[in-house]
Amino acid sequence: MNNLAQALSKQGKYAEAEKMHRETLALDEKISGKEHPDTLTSMSNVALALSKQGKYAEAEKMYRETLALRVKILGKEHPDTLTSMSNVAQALSEQGKYAEAEKMHRETLALRVKILGKEHPDTLTSIYCLAYLLQLQHQYKDASTFYERAYTGYCNTLGPDHPTTRACLRHYTSVQQLVDE
């Protein structure tokens, strides 16, 4: 059912995807329990579907619940827990709660560097997300620094022609122009 829900989401049918993810979550909770990793993944999927529909407060609540359970079950430094932290930060950012989002992005980044290393794809995603958040706050010099770090890391790991690398370069270039003004 998760695969079908993800296919619906890719087609932009977010309400249908949410419904399917909620059905999957209910089954996972019934079969495996509230604290099973599959259940936590389903919770995160529901939150993502909510976010895609602009229901950011609901998404934040679900992401926070998922994060709390992952910290309890997996520990604060598990990669899945760090993904949940990043998801909460993103939900905060989408609601304009930039100070809280920045704090969480920075904490996630520090833990990812420690646990996964400086050029792990998840670490680079954290750097990129933090750069974007700083850009939203008009902190262009700091944003540029983080975009440069992300771009260099993406070039080293994904190559210069990868779509993510190119997107990062576009952001970096646009912010750098603002810094140079």
Read off the pLDDT of each residue in 163-169 and give the average, rounded to a whole number: 97
- Looking at residue 6, what is its pLDDT? 85
pLDDT at 29 over 90: yes
**What does the chain come to in residues?**
181
Predicted TM-score of the model (pTM): 0.91
Q: Is 83 in contact with 40 (CB distance < 8 Å)?
A: no
**What domains, with CATH codes, occur in the chain?**
1-116 (1.25.40.10), 118-181 (1.25.40)
Structure tokens that stand for 12 in this block: 């932009």
pLDDT tens-digit readout, 68-107: 999 999 999 999 999 999 999 999 999 999 999 999 999 9
